[in-house]
Amino acid sequence: MSRVKTILQQGKVKQAVIDKFRENAADIVGADNISSGEIDLLSTCRDYWPISSIWMLEGAVPALPQLVVWPNTTEEVSRILALANEKKIPVVPYGEGSGALGGAVPLQGGIMLDLKKMNRARKLDELNQLVTVECGMNGALYEEYLNQNGYTGGHFPQSLRCSTVGGWLACRAAGQFSTRYGKIEDIVVSLEAVLSDGTIFSGRSVPRAATGPRADLLMVGSEGVLGVITAADLRIWPLPEKRHFATYTFDNLADGLEAIRKFIRAGTRPAVVRLYDAQETGNHFPELGDKRPGLILLFEGAEPIITAEAGVVDQIVSGQGAVDAGPDFVEHWLETRFNVSAASRLLQKGAVLDTIEVTTNWHNAHSTYQAMQKAILSEEGTMMASGHWSHVYPEGAALYMTVVGFPGENKIGYYKSIWRAAMKACLDEGAAISHHHGIGLHRGAWMEEEHGRGLEVLKKVKAALDPNGIMNPGKLGLEEVQQWEK
Amino acid sequence: MGKVNMEELLNCALCPNICRCECPVLQVTGREAVAPAGKARLAAMLQKEQLDWDEEVLDAVSHCLSCRGCTIHCPFAELSLCDELINARLAAKAGGARLPQVEPYLANLKNYGSPYGQKNETAVCGEKGAEILYYAGCTSMANNPASIEAARSLFSKAGLSYQMIDEDCCGYPAEIWGDEELARRLAEENLRKMKESGASTMVTGCPECWLTFTGHYPEWGLELPLEIIDAPAYFLGLLKEGRLKPGRADMKKVSYHDPCIWARAAQKTAEPREIINKIPGLELHEASSSGEKTRCCGGGAMFQLSYPDTAAAIARRRLAELAEDAAIVTACPFCREGLLQENRQVLELVELLDRTC
Ligand SMILES: Cc1cc2nc3c(=O)[nH]c(=O)nc-3n(C[C@H](O)[C@H](O)[C@H](O)COP(=O)(O)OP(=O)(O)OC[C@H]3O[C@@H](n4cnc5c(N)ncnc54)[C@H](O)[C@@H]3O)c2cc1C
Ligand code: SF4
Ligand code: SF4
């Protein structure tokens, strides 16, 4: 028996309704693919929102579901959703729980729809450079499958090994090589999804079509509140012929940002572009020191193209005062880029930590960094607020802040305070509140400021597609969650 | 036997399951409760007394093959999750929790010295007092006596005298099923018999036994009375000395499946390949995940007895990575047993070698 507390539970479905659902659902997915076992509920009730980790250390979870269901096919997802809709039971889609903002917390109990058994690659279409893949496929296994066939998916979030294709699409994820291959919304060509009433629909994998708004692509970034993404057609690329690495340091961040703006404007597309502030440069690459911002670049593709690109970039960054630090730092980054061990260690020492990624244009890239850093550092307990830019576009770039604080007892209060400070600074500077982690539960409180009247439109879409409100309630800022205010 | 290392366990419990792509149990079941960090979270909650030991919890923390697949990507060099989970199971058993399906096998271990319920006395053969002792292990005895015949035949072909004794189980199954006292009793019985044999070298055919002798016995404070060498390294030595001379094999191509323990606990990936490469005209196919990145056959941690359906599903997943047009060669009786599905031909390395010498 568990003595684990729930902190954000907003209620549960009557047990008799759940029992009846379970009986009927067993005919759909088989009794082995449903569990109400305590350990399955405890294990599928959270994601990688830092608050869940803090609560875990204190013997608590955000909220518990009442059932975990593992569908195997789109048809099964459809029948399960139709049944849940009829009984008005909340359903939370679940990939691999690497979401960073509490998106997968089952606030109202109900069903966790664990999609990991839908993990097949359905079709590799080499002529059209597309793969059809199911939502529950693990990222690293997806890339491995493509590599074995001579391709890459071009999508490498730091969570590659612990997230699913469906999770990427649901959260508008970004990979480390996005400057060349794009975010997941640039990589997806069409998708298949299921609505709360069981309707299965999909888009067509044509390059572009002037056929009105695309219903399937509406699901990209919907974080489980509109339905379940069950499969997608994604772009793939032949494995690159060659890679070229380069590292530069700058006198200051403004010069580094200007250099990036100029080489993107010139038409170059390095796969990896990462400009670290001096503190992060020192943390990641001690040999570069912590006095100058460092820029790492990785080019990949056909040799003549990347040689030319690297040449153009070198000329532009040199004009901006960059000092060439050679290729080795990129090797080091490649080797360490998935290592997130510091978080476990810091959490055990009583730290509160988080990463806050936002999107800036060029005009406010530097000022947003300065404003966010200042705001976070002014909160008592903050030890570190550092940043880097990655994911670069002609019109701007993503800014990724890392925060570590030791606030003593009031961890939750501190966590909320740094977020309030960071979001206010971000919005005041005119940046967008998220680039790729999405909204989940926690960032919902700022959705109105982000979208203005656009949020009303989103609420209407939600009401039309999910009239009973069963899909992942309380997320994406579409409803107020009293238990978790900003 | 070990106590739970809370700091390491919490490092894992607080990790976003970075290695989940390499955990075969998670990959075939899809259950978060048996994901690497999922198991660590449950074990940590138990240690902190937020959960009570019961069958359901013990079942989850028992869903570990000790395959060390998680170590491929694990950033914590000091962490051995599978050993922490064994420690958790020892604590569970001490706290009164039981896994019903393993109880008959534990009874077999007590009564017969083998989980398979047969006395290993029939193994006694060779020359009493010989320098070399061959320790086959219960699984080879129960499932593949042909591999023991092959090893004996190789000793004879090399002109070496050897002996086999009435082995008791090395104790590993008792340990992973949480019966510390039984594991120790079996270990002590084995040590007595090894000493009595008068042998100076023991060749071990089973990686699980090898790891128990070389890794766990010293941890349990038990001293080995003889030198232990694993079968692949030993027979490779005989090839190099020219005592064994392989001829052409009766097959063209083999796909080598690295057993997890040889590959990741012992870093022995070269020896089996060297043996295969010394067989004239035999082509070696490398699986997509091989060497230290091998993937488990599902047979680790006695899963074939405790979770046969999961073990079989994991084996099918691994089979897809091994060339279809080749015989599979491996160096572990559990791997051979697990991979013997879908009409595939599976040989242990000693069997392949014996066929060619
Ligand atoms: C260490 C670490 C590093 C990270 N690095 C990156 C990074 O580099 N780039 C990046 O973009 N993100 C990153 N993230 C965030 C996270 O990995 C992504 O948001 C990822 O896309 C989530 O995938 P998942 O399968 O784990 O989804 P989950 O966490 O299981 O779910 C996330 C949300 O999507 C919904 N959902 C999941 N699957 C579906 C589906 N099939 N249909 C509908 N809704 C669904 C859930 O209900 C939930 O609201 C990182 C996270 C961690 C822990
Ligand atoms: S074994 Fe290592 S990589 Fe895997 S979940 Fe635990 S800490 Fe993370
Ligand atoms: S040892 Fe193998 S089965 Fe156990 S947690 Fe690690 S990868 Fe999974």
The answer to whether position B105 is within a domain reads no
The predicted structure's pLDDT at residue B1: 61
Q: Is the pTM of this model over 0.80?
A: yes
User: Is the pLDDT reported for residue B3 higher than 90?
Assistant: no
Beta sheet of A111-114, edge-to-edge order: A34-35, A67-69, A111-114, A91-94
* Per-residue confidence band for A174, with pLDDT thresholds at 50, 70 and 90: very high
3-state secondary structure of A388: strand
**pLDDT one-digit tens code per residue, A324-371:** 999 999 999 999 999 999 999 999 999 999 999 999 999 999 999 999
A477: nearest Cα among A170, A468, A417, A462: A462
Query: What are the tokens at B103?
Result: 């109880």
- Which residue in A56, A119, A161 is closest to B20 by CB distance? A161
The predicted structure's pLDDT at residue B281: 94
**B226 and B257 together in one domain:** no
3-state secondary structure of A456: helix
| Average pLDDT value for residue range B88-100 | 89
The predicted structure's pLDDT at residue B118: 83
B9: nearest Cα among B61, B63, B58: B61
Contact A44, A114 (CB under 8 A): yes
**B258 and B342 together in one domain:** yes
b/e sequence A213-225, b meaning 16+ C-beta within 10 Å: eeebbbbbbbbbb
Average pLDDT of every residue of chain A: 97
Rounded to an integer, what distance in angstroms lies between the CA atom of residue B227 and that of residue B236? 17
Show which of B175, B204, B238 is a domain's final residue.
B238
**B72 and B28 together in one domain:** yes
| Closest residue on chain A to B31 (Cα) | A40
The predicted structure's pLDDT at residue A358: 98
Q: Which contiguous run of DSSP H or E holds residue A323?
A: strand A323-324
CA angle B149, B287, B291 (to 5 degrees): 75
**pLDDT one-digit tens code per residue, A44-100:** 999 999 999 999 999 999 999 999 999 999 999 999 999 999 999 999 999 999 999
Give the rounded percent of residues in chain A with a pLDDT score beyond 70: 100
- B82 alpha carbon to ligand 2 midpoint, in Å? 10
| Average pLDDT value for residue range A402-410 | 97
The predicted structure's pLDDT at residue A306: 97
**B255 and B343 together in one domain:** yes
The answer to whether position B165 is within a domain reads yes
Contact A137, A116 (CB under 8 A): no
Contact A79, A131 (CB under 8 A): no
- Which residue in A56, A59, A340 is closest to B16 by CB distance? A340
User: Is the pLDDT reported for residue B286 higher than 60?
Assistant: yes
The answer to whether position B108 is within a domain reads no
Show which of B43, B67, B98 is a domain's final residue.
B98
Say which ligand is closest to the CA of B64: 3
Place of tokens 């066939």: A149
| Average pLDDT value for residue range A382-387 | 98
The answer to whether position B187 is within a domain reads yes
**B130 and B209 together in one domain:** yes
**B299 and B283 together in one domain:** yes
The predicted structure's pLDDT at residue A310: 98
**B335 and B251 together in one domain:** yes
Question: Domains in chain A, please, with CATH?
Answer: 5-117 (3.30.43.10), 121-238 (3.30.465.10), 242-336 (3.30.70.3450), 341-437 (3.30.300.330)
Chains A, B: CB contacts within 8 A come to: 112
b/e sequence A459-472, b meaning 16+ C-beta within 10 Å: eeebeebbebbbbb
The predicted structure's pLDDT at residue A1: 54
Query: CB B14 to CB A347 under 8 A?
Result: yes
Report in angstroms the alpha-carbon separations of A10 from A6, A7, A16, A100, A308: 10, 9, 18, 21, 57
**B208 and B249 together in one domain:** no
The predicted structure's pLDDT at residue B304: 97
| Total tally of structural domains belonging to chain B | 3
What contacts 24+ positions apart, CB below 8 Å, involve B280-283?
Answer: B280/B246, B280/B247, B280/B248, B280/B249, B281/B248, B281/B249, B281/B252, B282/B248, B282/B249, B282/B251, B282/B252, B282/B253, B282/B254, B282/B356, B283/B252, B283/B253, B283/B254, B283/B326
* Per-residue confidence band for B95, with pLDDT thresholds at 50, 70 and 90: confident
Average pLDDT of every residue of chain B: 95
B4, amino acid identity? V
User: Is the pLDDT reported for residue A9 higher than 80?
Assistant: yes
Show which of B223, B238, B253 is a domain's final residue.
B238
Place of tokens 């880029």: A337
Which residues in chain B are contacts of A39 at CB distance < 8 A?
A: 33, 42, 56-57, 60
Look at the alpha carbons of A123, A104, A449, A226 in this order and tell me if their dihedral is positive or negative: positive
User: Is the pLDDT reported for residue A405 higher than 70?
Assistant: yes
Rounded to an integer, what distance in angstroms lies between the CA atom of residue B221 and that of residue A227? 58
Give the rounded percent of residues in chain B with a pLDDT score beyond 90: 92
The answer to whether position B207 is within a domain reads yes
Query: CB B20 to CB A2 under 8 A?
Result: no
The answer to whether A340 contacts chain B (CB < 8 Å) is yes
**pLDDT one-digit tens code per residue, B34-72:** 999 999 999 999 988 899 889 999 999 999 999 999 999
User: Is the pLDDT reported for residue B162 higher than 70?
Assistant: yes
DSSP type of residue A320 = T
The answer to whether position B104 is within a domain reads no
3-state secondary structure of A459: helix
User: Is the pLDDT reported for residue B112 higher than 80?
Assistant: yes
**B250 and B210 together in one domain:** no
Q: Whose CA is nearest to atom 6 of ligand 3?
A: B70
A223: nearest Cα among A27, A426, A466: A466
**pLDDT one-digit tens code per residue, A288-299:** 999 999 999 999
What contacts 24+ positions apart, CB below 8 Å, involve A443-451?
Answer: A443/A101, A443/A477, A444/A474, A444/A475, A444/A476, A444/A477, A444/A478, A444/A481, A445/A477, A445/A485, A445/A486, A446/A477, A446/A486, A447/A476, A447/A477, A447/A478, A448/A477, A449/A423
**B134 and B192 together in one domain:** yes
Phi, psi angles (nearest 5°) of residue B167: -55, 145
* Alpha carbon A153 to chain centroid, angstroms: 16
CATH code at position B180:
3.40.50
* Per-residue confidence band for B120, with pLDDT thresholds at 50, 70 and 90: confident
**B136 and B228 together in one domain:** yes
The answer to whether position B168 is within a domain reads yes
**B275 and B314 together in one domain:** yes
- B67 alpha carbon to ligand 3 midpoint, in Å? 5
Place of tokens 């406010």: A364
Q: For ligand 3, say whether the CB of B88 is within 6 Å of any of its atoms.
A: no
User: Is the pLDDT reported for residue A104 higher than 80?
Assistant: yes
* Alpha carbon A177 to chain centroid, angstroms: 14
Contact A143, A159 (CB under 8 A): no
Give the range of the structural domain holding residue B161, as residue numbers without chain letter. 121-238
B342, amino acid identity? E
The answer to whether position B110 is within a domain reads no
